[in-house]
Homo-oligomer: A and B are copies of this chain.
Amino acid sequence: MSEKKIVIIGGVAGGATAAARLRRLDERAHIVILERSGYVSYANCGLPYYVGGTITDRSKLTLQTPESFRARFNIDVHVHQEAVSIDRAQQVVHVRNLEDKSTYDEPYDELILSPGARAVVPPLPGVDSERLFTLRTVEDTFAIHDFIERAQAKRATVVGAGFIGLEMTENLCERGIDVTLVQRDPQAMLPIDADMAPFVHNELRRNGVELHLNATVTGFVEKDDALVTQLADGQKFAADLVILAIGVTPDSTLAKDAGLELGLRGSIRVDEHLRTSDSHIFAVGDAIEVRHVVTGRPALIALAGPANKQGRIAADNICGRKTTFTGSQGSSVLKLFDLTITSTGLNARQAAQVGIDFDAVVLSPASHATYYPGAGSMTLKVLFERSGERRGRIIGAQIVGTDGADKRIDVLATAIRAQMGASDLTELDLAYAPPYSSAKDPVNMAGYLIENILDGLVKQVSWGEATNLPEDAVLVDVRTPGEVARGGIEGSLRIPLDELRDRTGELPRDKTLYVHCQSGLRSYVACRMLSQLGFSCANVAGGYGFYAASAL
């Protein structure tokens, strides 16, 4: 084997993984990691939990150190070294030593870029306040942590209700800090659909978070030992500190300056071997453009799983192993207080954007057999293609719930990866015992619901349609009087399912019956009965439970 010199820019998820794999594949290569911050191989995803106090040991935030990389992998790790430009003709990286400000050249045979993504910081007034923080590195984490201790912070404003904003919100609450959470969009957590987001909003409010949706920040003003966040509608929130977490953008300046081909929103374009437009330069992680597994189109997916996988693939290819990265589907999961929020594949907005004709089912299964104690509840939404060649193909799924949500999303992610359709879901042979699942797992059940729609056994309407009731339709509630007493929709005809067969005379034959129950199951049973008895009817997806969650 040749003594190749391989330089890696960025020593965390993508970069560190590439380095370790490189060494395993090539014992003789000279491997150098350049890292701008003071740490490599750190647990980005764990950082919020250090702020919250769930992780207290600073050493737990890094999986490897420069020393351990040397001892185990014989890799040269240089921290506080910033790659400032790349001379592709000379195959040299110009580096600035951030400790002594000196500069030097680092030649390479092969170069891997894993610079990650930067927090988006819009040019708003006051955004440079020392009370305003973004979170990306270990240093950022310590800065927030130390500021909170020093200032004995009691109030924080978090701007942005995506992954990092929500994790920071939870962790600030864990420290006893009052949090105001400001989100420009009408919902938190954009990966999930608008009708699923209310569960998130409720969980935030239940935990004392002051949530402001549709709230555009116009700037920040320091005043009386506080930083005041100002909204377009005039509202102002004073706090000891502000966390700005409105998204990330590929950190691709180096690549751009070096004239490498770029893709979506300035990301680095790579081929399936993760090679950039320069055959000696590979790029991985948050900075690159990937192919979306479901749409086949370019996408940006800034997550640790793909970054790790890509690091290994880049290393493979440098060592002559022609492995490929075939794409991401954006599977993600977030813990928010007692809730798990998780999704994979496309959501409704994304599916519409690429012009897929889709529909979705909503169900609220228990995490395991309800006769066995401790079952949690979840709301599961599964999107599928409604027409065309791939009719029935599963294109995305979202779950908000407690126990077992992460399990079902991973099963669905695997099914999506395998291009499965509704009937494949019904056939999945999943492991069942009462403490773990139901004989028909929620994923099987989702398959049944979809099959029934595709087979024309039942028509489905959404609550959007059911609450904007057409003239020729009427709402029918088939729940029991006990359930109705706990809440229901005005103007519904009320006949409990178990009496329906004997009371069809009370139903109008000249109207479409929009039937609902608590979850959608009994109303489906009702629809099957009624449609065979000559009624025109449709099942309201998700039932009153789904409606009530959004209406809270």
Q: Which residues of A contact B (CB under 8 A)?
A: 1, 13, 23-28, 43, 45-46, 49, 54-55, 60-61, 68, 71-74, 293, 303-309, 312, 321, 323, 326, 328-335, 340, 342-344, 369, 371-373, 406-407, 409-411, 413-415, 417-418, 420, 423-424, 426-437, 439-441, 444, 448, 455, 457, 497-499, 501, 524-525, 528-529, 532-533
Contact = CB atoms under 8 A, between A and B. Distances in A.
A436 B303 contact: no
B429 A72 contact: no
A279 B282 CA distance: 62
Contacts of A329: 429
B304 A439 contact: yes
25 contacts: A1-B532, A23-B528, A27-B528, A45-B432, A45-B434, A45-B439, A49-B372, A55-B373, A61-B371, A293-B429, A303-B432, A304-B432, A305-B440, A309-B426, A331-B429, A332-B432, A333-B432, A333-B433, A333-B437, A335-B435, A344-B431, A410-B411, A411-B411, A413-B428, A413-B430
Contacts of A308: 439-440
A413 B429 contact: yes
Nearest to A407: B407
Nearest to A500: B72
Residue of A68, A328, A428, A441 most packed against chain B (CB within 10 A): A428
A128 to B, nearest CB: 31
Contact of A28 (B1, B435, B532): B532
Given A27-B532, A304-B439, A414-B414, A309 B444 contact: yes
A218 to B, nearest CB: 32
Closest 8 CB pairs of A and B: A418-B418, A333-B431, A27-B532, A407-B407, A71-B498, A304-B439, A60-B371, A414-B414
Contacts of A304: 432, 439
A54 B373 contact: yes
A430 B68 contact: no
Contacts of A28: 532
Nearest to A414: B414
Contact of A501 (B74, B406, B428, B499): B74
A332 B533 contact: no
A498 B72 contact: yes
Nearest to A307: B439
Given A332-B432, A410-B410, A433-B334, A46 B427 contact: no
B426 A332 contact: no
Given A43-B371, A305-B432, 7 more contacts: A24-B457, A305-B429, A326-B427, A332-B433, A333-B436, A407-B410, A417-B428
Contacts of A448: 312
Residue of A312, A326, A334, A439 most packed against chain B (CB within 10 A): A439
Nearest to A328: B429
Contacts of A414: 411, 414-415, 418, 428, 430
A430 to B, nearest CB: 5
B429 A525 contact: no
Contact of A430 (B13, B331, B432, B444): B331
A406 B407 contact: yes
Contacts of A440: 305, 308-309
Contacts of A411: 410-411, 414
Contacts of A335: 433, 435-436
Contacts of A524: 24
Contacts of A415: 414, 418
Given A372-B54, A528-B25, A417 B429 contact: yes
A136 to B, nearest CB: 16
Contacts of A333: 431-433, 436-437
Contact of A533 (B27, B373, B429, B435): B27
Residue of A24, A60, A342 most packed against chain B (CB within 10 A): A24
B429 A369 contact: no
Contacts of A428: 413-414, 417
A429 B413 CA distance: 7
A437 B49 contact: no
Contacts of A372: 46, 49, 54-55
Contacts of A441: 305, 410
Contacts of A426: 309
Given A431-B409, A432-B304, A528-B25, A498 B369 contact: no
A306 to B, nearest CB: 7
A301 to B, nearest CB: 9
B342 A306 contact: no
A23 B430 CA distance: 26
A246 B497 CA distance: 43
A497 B413 CA distance: 37
